[in-house]
C-alpha cells in the first residue's frame, strides 16, 4: 500500500509538472507572439507614416542599419522596389502574396508563413502607401514546439531540483498518510480519530467485529454444548472427515478403544483400531450408505452404527455410533432362560393336574383313593397359582410398574407380623423363630417389603434343620436401617452363592420341590431390595447356616 501511494503521488507530481511547464511555455509564447505582432504593426504604421509625410523617402539606410526586421517595398504592380535582406533584382513579383493583395485592396494586409523544415513562422504586415505602393514589414520567430525544444535544457535544469523536492515531499507525505493507518486500533475501530474519510469504513469494521464476536460466542456456546453432550454420553461417538481422519472422539469411545481422545484428533481412524468391522463400516459410509454391525472387544459386545454426512450429493464425513450391548445380551439370555424356566415350571404342575384329572375322569381311580388324588390336584394348583403370582410380581418389579403408595414403615413391626404368619410353619419344623431390635422407620411400599421379609424368613425355615434357629434383627443406624435374617441350617456352598438370587435357580431341586418353593423367592428378594435402593449381602457356610443382610436408607429411595 505504501509503494502504491508513493508511486501515485509521484506520478501525479510529474504529470502536474509536465502539464504546468507546457501550459506556462504556451502562455508565454502566445503572449510573446502577440507582442511581436503588435510591434510589427506599430513599426509598419511608423514607416508608412514617415513615407507619406516625406515624399521621396529613402529606404536605403535600412540596408546598412542593424535592423532586425525585414522591410520590403513593393510597387503597385508587385515589383519589389526595395528589400533590406535581399537584392530586389533577384526577387520574384509579390503581387500574388496574400498580405500584399490585401493591402492593395483594403489598405492593410497580414499573413503568417510557416516553415516546416526550419520550425519557424514569419508574420507579415503590409500597408498601402499614399502613392499606391505597399510597404511590408516581416518578423520571424520560432514555432511553439521549436521554442519548447530550445528551452528544454533550461527546463530540465529547473525540473531537476523540483523533482528531487517532489520525491522528498512524496516520501514524507506517504509516511504521514501511512503511519496513522498502520497505527489504527483494530480492536476498537471507533476509538480511532485519523481521517474523516475512514469513518464509514471504521464504523462498518466495528459492526462486523460485533457480528463476528456474537457469531463466535454462539459457536463457542454450541461447541461447549456439543462437548457437554458428547462427553457425557455413555455411547461412543466418533466423527470422521471424508479422508477418514478423526474430528471428534468422545470419552466413551476413547474408553472403549483404550485411548486418550485428545491424542488422536486429525489422525486416521485406523490408528485407534484396526477392527475389520470398523474399517468396513467406514468404507461403506464413505460410499454414501448406512451400515450396522456388531463386534466384540474383551468381554464386551458392541453395536456399531455408521452414517454418512452429506452435503448435497457429496459425502463430507462419517458419524460412528458405538453402543455397549453386553448387558442387553445378558438380559436377552436371562429372558430366554426365564421363559424356558417358566415354561418348565408351569408344565410340571399342569401335567400332574392333567394326569390326576384324566385318571379320575376315566374312572380308573378307586373311590377310596379319590380324596388323595383331589388333594394332589389341589396342592399342584396352589403351587401353580403361587408360581404365576411370583412371576407377575417379579415382572412388575423389573419394570418398576408398582401401582402402590410409598409410606413410612416400621420394619421392626413388619418383621414381627411376618414372624406371626410363619409361626405355625416354624412350630411344625421345630424351629426357634425370634425377632429382635427396635423401631426403625423407612420409606417404602408395604406389600413389597412384607413379601421380601416373608421370603427371607420362609427360606430360613424351609432350608433349616430340625430344632434349628432363625433370628431376625432390625437395627437402626445414623442414616440406615439394617435387617438381618440368620439361620443355622444347611448353608449354601461357596460356588453356588453368586447364583442363588437368579430366577428358578435351586441348589437342591428335589428338596425345593418337596418344600413347595417356586424358585423365585430370592429373585423377588433381590428385586425388592433394588426397588427400594437397598443393598443386599449373603454370607453362608455349609452345615453352619446362612445370614442375609439388607441395608436400607432412612431417607427413602
CB 426 within 8 A of CB 461: yes
Report, at the CATH architecture level, how domain 2-149 is classified: 2-Layer Sandwich (3.30)
Q: Reply yes or no on whether the pLDDT at 515 is more than 60.
A: no
Q: Exposure of 30 by Cβ count < 10 A (0-12 exposed, 13-18 middle, 19+ buried)? A: exposed
Domain range annotation of the chain:
2-149, 233-323, 329-398, 407-553
Q: What is the pTM assigned to this prediction?
A: 0.41
Report, at the CATH architecture level, how domain 407-553 is classified: 2-Layer Sandwich (3.30)
Q: Reply yes or no on whether the pLDDT at 115 is more than 70.
A: no
CA distances from 480 to 200, 553, 556 (A): 73, 5, 10
CA-based R_g, the chain, Å = 63
Q: Could you tell me the sign of the dihedral formed by the alpha carbons of 376, 377, 380, 381, in that order? A: negative
pLDDT in tens, 439-463: 888 888 888 888 888 888 888 888 8
Which pLDDT value is given to residue 56?
62
Q: Reply yes or no on whether the pLDDT at 424 is more than 70.
A: yes
Most confident of 128-142, 277-291, 493-507: 277-291
Q: 71-84: b or e for each residue (b if 16 or more CB lie within 10 Å)?
A: bbbbbeebebebbb
Q: 146-162: b or e for each residue (b if 16 or more CB lie within 10 Å)?
A: bbbeebeeebeeebeee
Which pLDDT value is given to residue 2?
61
CB 282 within 8 A of CB 241: no
Which candidate, 386, 319, 366, places its Cα nearest to that of 520? 386
Give the CATH class of 329-398.
Answer: mainly alpha
CA distances from 475 to 231, 416, 484 (A): 43, 14, 9
Pairing mode of beta strands 469-476, 535-541: unpaired
Span of 266-270, 428-432, 508-512 with lowest mean pLDDT: 508-512
Q: What is the mean pLDDT of residues 367-375?
A: 75
- First-residue to last-residue Cα distance in the chain: 74
Pairing mode of beta strands 300-311, 545-553: unpaired
Give the CATH class of 233-323.
Answer: alpha beta
CB 402 within 8 A of CB 394: no
- Domains 2-149 and 233-323 in one fold: yes
Residue 195: left if φ>0, alpha if ψ -120 to 50, beta else—which one? beta
pLDDT in tens, 324-349: 887 777 766 666 665 655 565 566 66
Amino acid at each position: 500500500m505504501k509503494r502504491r501511494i508513493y508511486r501515485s503521488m509521484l506520478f501525479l507530481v510529474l504529470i502536474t509538472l509536465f502539464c504546468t511547464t507546457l501550459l506556462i511555455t504556451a502562455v508565454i509564447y502566445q503572449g510573446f507572439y502577440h507582442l511581436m505582432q503588435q510591434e510589427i504593426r506599430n513599426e509598419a504604421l511608423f514607416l508608412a507614416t514617415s513615407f507619406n509625410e516625406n515624399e521621396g523617402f529613402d529606404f536605403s539606410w535600412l540596408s546598412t542599419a542593424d535592423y532586425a526586421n525585414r522591410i520590403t517595398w513593393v510597387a503597385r504592380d508587385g515589383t519589389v522596389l526595395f528589400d533590406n535582406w535581399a537584392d530586389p533584382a533577384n526577387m520574384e513579383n509579390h503581387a500574388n502574396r496574400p498580405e500584399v493583395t490585401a493591402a492593395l485592396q483594403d489598405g492593410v494586409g497580414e499573413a503568417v508563413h510557416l516553415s516546416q523544415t526550419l520550425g519557424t513562422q514569419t508574420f507579415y504586415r503590409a500597408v498601402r502607401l499614399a502613392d499606391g505602393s505597399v510597404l511590408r514589414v516581416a518578423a520571424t520567430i520560432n514555432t511553439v514546439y521549436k521554442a519548447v525544444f530550445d528551452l528544454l535544457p533550461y527546463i530540465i535544469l529547473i525540473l531537476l531540483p523540483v523533482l528531487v523536492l517532489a520525491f522528498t515531499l512524496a516520501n514524507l507525505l506517504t509516511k504521514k498518510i501511512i503511519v496513522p493507518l498502520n497505527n489504527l486500533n483494530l480492536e476498537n475501530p471507533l476509538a480511532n480519530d485519523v481521517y474523516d474519510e475512514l469513518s464509514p469504513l471504521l464504523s462498518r469494521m466495528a459492526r462486523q467485529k460485533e457480528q463476528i464476536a456474537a457469531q463466535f460466542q454462539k459457536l463457542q456456546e454450541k461447541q461447549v454444548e456439543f462437548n457437554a453432550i458428547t462427553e457425557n454420553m455413555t455411547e461412543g461417538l466418533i466423527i470422521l472427515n471424508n479422508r477418514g481422519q478423526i474430528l471428534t472422539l468422545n470419552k466413551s469411545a476413547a474408553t472403549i478403544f483404550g485411548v486418550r481422545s485428545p491424542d488422536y484428533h486429525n489422525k486416521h481412524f485406523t490408528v485407534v483400531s484396526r477392527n475389520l468391522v470398523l474399517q468396513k463400516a467406514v468404507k461403506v459410509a464413505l460410499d454414501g450408505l448406512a451400515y450396522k454391525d456388531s463386534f466384540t472387544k474383551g468381554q464386551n459386545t458392541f453395536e456399531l452404527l455408521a452414517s454418512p454426512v452429506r452435503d448435497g450429493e457429496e459425502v463430507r464425513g462419517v458419524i460412528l455410533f458405538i453402543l455397549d450391548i453386553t448387558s442387553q445380551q445378558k438380559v436377552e439370555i436371562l429372558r430366554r432362560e426365564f421363559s424356558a424356566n417358566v415354561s418348565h415350571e408351569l408344565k410340571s404342575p399342569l401335567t400332574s393336574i392333567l394326569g390326576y384329572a384324566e385318571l379320575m375322569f376315566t374312572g380308573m381311580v378307586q373311590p377310596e383313593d379319590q380324596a388323595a388324588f383331589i388333594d394332589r390336584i389341589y396342592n399342584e394348583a396352589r403351587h401353580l397359582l403361587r408360581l404365576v403370582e411370583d412371576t407377575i410380581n417379579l415382572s412388575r418389579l423389573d419394570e418398576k410398574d408398582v401401582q402402590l403408595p410409598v409410606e413410612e414403615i416400621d420394619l421392626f413391626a413388619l418383621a414381627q407380623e411376618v414372624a406371626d404368619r410363619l409361626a405355625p410353619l416354624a412350630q411344625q419344623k421345630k424351629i426357634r423363630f425370634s425377632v429382635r431390635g427396635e423401631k426403625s422407620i423407612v420409606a417404602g411400599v408395604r406389600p413389597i417389603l412384607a413379601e421380601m421379609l416373608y421370603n427371607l424368613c420362609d427360606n430360613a425355615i424351609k432350608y433349616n434343620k430340625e430344632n434349628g434357629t432363625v433370628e431376625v434383627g432390625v437395627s437402626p443406624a445414623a442414616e440406615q436401617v439394617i435387617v438381618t435374617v440368620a439361620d443355622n441350617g444347611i448353608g449354601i456352598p461357596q460356588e453356588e452363592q453368586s447364583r442363588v438370587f437368579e430366577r428358578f435357580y435351586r441348589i437342591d431341586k428335589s428338596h425345593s420341590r418337596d418344600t413347595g418353593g417356586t424358585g423365585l423367592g430370592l429373585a423377588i428378594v433381590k428385586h425388592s431390595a433394588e426397588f427400594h435402593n437397598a443393598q443386599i449381602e449373603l454370607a453362608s457356610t455349609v452345615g453352619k447356616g446362612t445370614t442375609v443382610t439388607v441395608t436400607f436408607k432412612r431417607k427413602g429411595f
